[in-house]
Structure 1
Amino acid sequence: MSENSDKRAQFLASLTKSQRERLSHIDFKLYFLGELRRADVVDRFGTGPAAATRDIALYREIAPENLELDSDKVYRPTPAFTPLFEHNPQRVLTALSKGYGEGSGELLGGEAHPMLRCETPSSLSLPRSSILAPVSRAIHRGRAVKLGYTSIDSGRTERELVPLALVDIGIRWHVRAFDRRHKQFRDFVLTRMEEPTVLEDSVVHRDETAECDVQWSRLIELELVPHPHHPRPEVVLMDYEFPEDGVLRVRVRAANAGYMLRRWSVDCSNDHSLRGIEYALWLRDPLALYGASNAQLAPGYRDPRSDREIKAL
């Protein structure tokens, strides 16, 4: 880092959190949309025009080479523009495609709008707020819930669960929870729950908490490489940020490993036998999945010591 960059970083660190948020938004608008108006700051943060003008002036003081005012009174990034902040790609794509954070409308029940023309797949399976709210409260406060649950194996039953975490597996959301009926940690699909009620007076014991969930606590390092039979390995290298040794290492919880590998379409067979361009990656050491409770959900995986099938949720 150059001396100038170091001083700039120190100055940014000395600002208040709210000041950094406003400057980051200015940086974002210039970097990803190529324009900035004073109204952008006013609308986003609810400040007055004078305060927005001060924020833009502060940004110009820190990085005068980053922007210029055109004839339409719109600030544009210069050819020498260098972002002041690191912008997380996932958050950037969410903001561009859904418009979250562009005002208070979405918080008040209004509709957020994309910043650009974007197309994202619709979620076909989302839980109702009346289901999600008590479950999320229970997770946050460390409480148990009572609810009706319909599973493929058992049909509808009454359950007492101690929910630990929400998990998004791409096609649906589920809850990792301790099931008091079976005395073990399991996954429960939110859309299959009915009338969850937080049990305020029910004591949650230590063996019902995340610290005792071995599958949740165990982290597995997956070594992913380009699929040996992919017709264009150079494209795979472009699609994924491989390190110099050509091995993409990803750490996941054992409780989620099978879900994630299926979501990523990783060939987990011993002999990379799955075919199709959807299998861009191969799990170099399938034995890394041994002992993961849902390993058999991973494409092509075969448990070397068991023929046990994973039970439907």
Structure 2
Amino acid sequence: MKSRIAATSASVVLAAGAAVAQDAWRAPGSTFGSPLPPYIDNQTAPAFRNAVAAPNKTHSVKFRPFEDSGASNVQLTQDEWTWRVNVTELALPPLPSNLSTAGIDKPSTFVTTYDLTWPAGGNISSAMRGSSAPFCVTAFDYLFPANVTDQYTTADSGSADCERIFGEDCMNALFYEGNNLQGDQCVVPQWGDIPACNATLGAATRADRAGRPFFTLGAATADANPASPNNALNDAVPVQSGEGIWTFQGGVLGAADAASGYADAAGRLQVFMFNTWLNITNGRVSKPNILCMRVDTAADPADPAAPVGKSAAAGPRGRAAAVVMAIFVTIVASLV
């Protein structure tokens, strides 16, 4: 029997102490779409949304995702899309009275959002000219070593091509071993375990597993096509062209930690993947798009390979890892 997939929201709580219930609400998160963090209510929502809509730093890259794919719909092969990454630092508006900010100096946060724009407008199904195939999106939130991050320079700022950074062998492996589309299901790829990507994606995940003084949100996958059978339960967020397709928020931090986290987010290497099925003359084919970008190539992000006690060891990720964290992620849950 064919499996159905439904994109669902879940909370995964990582406990580093006894205060799970008290601290979970102010934790960082990685979320499909652009929902409000758990510490923002209806009264504080406008100030938060306005700040995110006017980011401190932003960078966009144009690309043709389905060029040379052989798709039967010629227009798809000619469509030019735009991937934009926005980074915002903001002082939080007064939070709900039932949420304590005791011990936090000048409550603040930083937010990174990804958005995609396509010429057809509307939702993903419209972008794909009425396709009901899964549209699998994967966000990879790990800090890369400086020698990897620095491969994306100002000269690359007009491109989202990852091959210069990861190398041809790694990219070829990502298209197969690292694919996030399997049959009609979206999956979370294990990029860090691919031998050809050992020095890049593998280095990032190893640093995280080794307990470096940074808190990262890992990898997560969702199906963005509301017309997909994966979303038969109507759990997909109806992301529109130009709207946020993925959001990372730093949780409730002191002003100094938020500023440090913002600088790190602006300079780090952002990696994003999406994939779907395209109709061709004799069937269908998938064409994974793996995108890389840095918003600010002049920034000097934290290096997870740095020894503990140096670099940004005392930054927001280091301090955040010492308290209870909750990751609010959109995951893909299979239903048989």
Query: Fold conserved (TM > 0.5)?
Result: no
Q: TM-score, normalised by structure 1?
A: 0.21
As a proportion of its length, which structure holds more strand?
2
Indicate the structure (1 or 2) with the bigger Cα radius of gyration.
1
Higher relative contact order, chain-length normalized (CA < 8 Å, sep 6+): 2
